[in-house]
Structure 1
Amino acid sequence: MNFVNENAVDDAGVSREVYTAFWEQFLEQCEGENERVPRLRPDFCETEWQAVGQIWVKNLLDHGVFPVRLSKAFILACIHGMDLVDVDILIKLFLNYLRPVERSAVEKALQGTMNENDEEDLLDLFTRMGSHFLPPKNNMQPAIETMAHKAVLQEPKYIMDCFSTPMACLQLKLSDKESVLSLYETKKATGKRPVQLFETTKLMLSHGEQTTFDHLQRYVKTLMKPKLKKSRIFCDMC
């Protein structure tokens, strides 16, 4: 491989770093908070979008990893079509797409517990999504479902169609909705998973080396989520 103008012998670490760097830059161009959705851009046409979909597939097949912040609903629709994204999944994932203030307002609207401040935040969201008024409270849930469908599925439909071509080879491996959602579940950041990536180059460690290795494992297991994500990137790069 050639990485940053330097030759490298790849033993998974270098290619993981390439994939990590690519997805970090790609996700910056997407929209959303905890889960992000690609948006059309003037410098990308069908060829480029299909190439991104192929990178997603190859990343998964080569290393069993993929960008977990790319919306589950979006990926599910790419592999199996939009009809498989039911309302329950869509609303749950739409909440992850929203900013914290918007998420809180939508949750309260669905629960029927909004106050005036929540209504203002919800109106800002509806305006951002293209509507300039709040629906009646008895029609709130259908309106939110429509808004979620538009933001997460309708607007990136062209990109989904492009992704679906390279992702067709995964329809047997990820044969249904549950298998796709389960794939995401297995990649949640927990202290145990980065530790599983740690390997020593020696079969036998000295007492000092083993002590250091044990301390590192214990430290990673105690990390909170933000630092834990960074440690997983570090593990992927090493």
Structure 2
Amino acid sequence: MYSASEMAGSQGNDAYLRNALSKYQYPDLAQRDILQAFSHFKDLRPNVDSFVFNDGNRKELLCLAGTIPVTYKGTIYNIPVCVWLLETHPYNPPVVNVKPTATMQIKPGQYVDANGRVYLPFLFEWRHPQSDLLGLIQIMCIIFGETPPVFTKKAEGPTPRAGCPQGGLSYPLYMHPVIPSLPTPSPLSPPTNAAPLWHTPVRSQPKTTIVALHRSTIQQDMLSLFMEPTIIDMKLMVTFIGEKGADGQGLSRDAYCAFWKEFFTSACGEYERVPLLSPKYGQDEWKAVGRILLKGYIDCGVYPLQLSLAFSVAVIFGERSVSSDMLLQSFRMYLPEADRKVVDKALCGEVLDEDEQDDLLDLLSRVGCNSIPKKEHMRNTVLRMAHKELIQEPKYALDAMAETVCGQLQMLFPDVQKLRLMYENKTPTARKVINLLNCTPANKEQSDAFGYLKQFIKGLDNAMLKKFLRYFTGADLICTSHIDISFNRMVGLARAPQAHTCGPLIELPCTYRSYTELRQEFMAILESDYLKMDIV
């Protein structure tokens, strides 16, 4: 047996994994899957050891050994586990075992047998690319928090506590039929640098709450969930009812973006919008909207860029922090394009034709002005109109949201300039999206496919660029530091780019013969009702 510390040295996990996976059938996909899990679960380490199959055969395979954090009755404990990867990973499920120490004992139950073997529906239903290690471990953390798989032995001996099941349970095998036999892991000592084990509590962390949402009622579901003030301190894991996928933030980003998309359909404004007051929304509902705003940004980096910047500043810093220039600019983006052009001409003192004068009078009538003011009074008149539309009209919602979130958002944005900069940084452009792509082509086919992808992104307008981000990252704004690219060799009707929003990762076919082929397939996805697809 050889350990990661012996081989990796200063080169870290990447070099060790490349060597350990050299005999695997899909080393690039396997390594990407492993590194994604490591990025969230720091106490797991790669280790190569000898498997013993049911027929007595042995094989050197990679395992992820260490501990995973589990919340039990409000306290975080560390469960020692070993996740074994078959040579066909990620196309076949791993074999998972709980590995108790000398002072611990297995507690058999619905999901763990007396030998520590873990059986979960997620493993039975494993299907790449919808299934991955990160989703598996997240589900284990939740399941083990409800039914802990180990307990501390009594000092006088290894006899389990009264009421604990004895012996193993019988379960069907979940392995793909092409695998000739199931591995039985050989004993493995926990890594010397592993975190404290199950019987040793560590610092308290937020409890994970699984949230099941319907896409068709996303707005009401989210409002009901966020009526509870303590939701801010919870760790949420989102699932969409009737859809597959494990939440490694991709589904959470998707949920917040879906809420805001639905919310803005009934808001006021064109490019920038403000809440529309409704008899259905009382103070509690608007406070819930504020919590969604705060939680979405804290957990996932999702902030609704359609929300008027002037309105956001008023919520976070107070109305007096909204400068006249900001108010005017937000109002311009609040107006439809035709009205904006008329206002711009009026502010510049240009001569308006008869139709433009009528359009301007229609706007001015909102503030009780029945004639076009003189040039020197035009700016103040427009500012009064902007203040009425962006601040006064939605004031009830503004105050309720501010009461809920202004303190915490002020810590995130110490001044107005920081908030403005966030708006700018999260607004997608083709260049920003291309700069997010993380790809190292290994041959000409892959290099060509990657080039076609960049060409495709450059040709997208703003609306389609947002759809692209929504499909591949779960959010229609820039919320991630990178988008990884891997390649497959899918052909024919089965060929299509695969989205893994939790990475985020794009599985890009390298079998495109031209840019036109790639463009046709990507546009077919973006122009379809893709949110009902199985996005992971």
TM-score, with length taken from structure 2: 0.41
| Partner residue in 1 for 2:427 | 188
Distance, in Å, in 2 between the alignment partners of 1:204 and 1:118 is 55
Query: 1:70-98: CA deviations, max 9, x gaps?
Result: 10000111000010001111011101001
Q: Pick the aligned partner of 1:166 from 393, 400, 405.
A: 405
Q: Please tell me whether the aligned partners of residues 54 and 167 of structure 1 are also in contact (alpha carbons under 8 angstroms).
A: no
- From the CA coordinates, give the structure whose radius of gyration is larger: 2
| Partner residue in 2 for 1:226 | 463
Distance, in Å, in 2 between the alignment partners of 1:234 and 1:7 is 15
The alignment status of 1:13 with 2:250, answered yes or no, reads yes
Distance, in Å, in 1 between the alignment partners of 2:415 and 2:325 is 16
**Structure 2: which 5+ runs fail to align?**
1-237, 475-500, 502-536
Q: Pick the aligned partner of 2:336 from 99, 102, 114.
A: 99
How far did residue 8 of structure 1 move?
3.7
Tell me which amino acid in the other structure corresponds to 1:100.
E
**The structure with more helix, counted as a fraction of residues:** 1
Relative to 1, partners in 2 of residues 1:230 and 1:114: Cα closer, same or farther, differing over 3 Å? farther
Q: Please tell me whether the aligned partners of residues 257 and 302 of structure 2 are also in contact (alpha carbons under 8 angstroms).
A: no
| Partner residue in 2 for 1:85 | 322
| Partner residue in 2 for 1:144 | 382
Bigger RCO (CA 8 Å, 6+ sep): 1
Distance, in Å, in 1 between the alignment partners of 2:315 and 2:433 is 28
Query: 1:8-60: CA deviations, max 9, x gaps?
Result: 42012111211121111001110101101111111111111111111111111
Q: 5 Å matches for 1:6-155?
A: 6=243, 8-115=245-352, 116-127=354-365, 129-131=366-368, 133-137=370-374, 138-155=376-393
**Structure 1: which 5+ runs fail to align?**
none
Relative to 1, partners in 2 of residues 1:114 and 1:204: Cα closer, same or farther, differing over 3 Å? closer
Distance, in Å, in 2 between the alignment partners of 1:9 and 1:199 is 22
Distance, in Å, in 1 between the alignment partners of 2:294 and 2:434 is 25
Query: 1:164-218: CA deviations, max 9, x gaps?
Result: 1223201122011111111101122211333355567xx9866534542342133
- Percent identical among aligned pairs is 36
Relative to 1, partners in 2 of residues 1:50 and 1:7: Cα closer, same or farther, differing over 3 Å? farther
The alignment status of 1:215 with 2:489, answered yes or no, reads no
Query: 1:109-129: CA deviations, max 9, x gaps?
Result: 1111132222111011123x2
Moved more, 8-17 or 66-75: 8-17
Size of the alignment, in residue pairs? 235
What RMSD, in angstroms, separates the aligned Cα atoms of the two structures?
Answer: 2.1
Tell me which amino acid in the other structure corresponds to 1:37.
V
Query: 1:144-171: CA deviations, max 9, x gaps?
Result: 1111101001111111111112232011
Distance, in Å, in 2 between the alignment partners of 1:118 and 1:221 is 36
Relative to 1, partners in 2 of residues 1:9 and 1:206: Cα closer, same or farther, differing over 3 Å? farther
Moved more, 74-83 or 108-117: 108-117
TM-score, with length taken from structure 1: 0.89
Moved more, 213-222 or 139-148: 213-222
Tell me which amino acid in the other structure corresponds to 1:50.
K
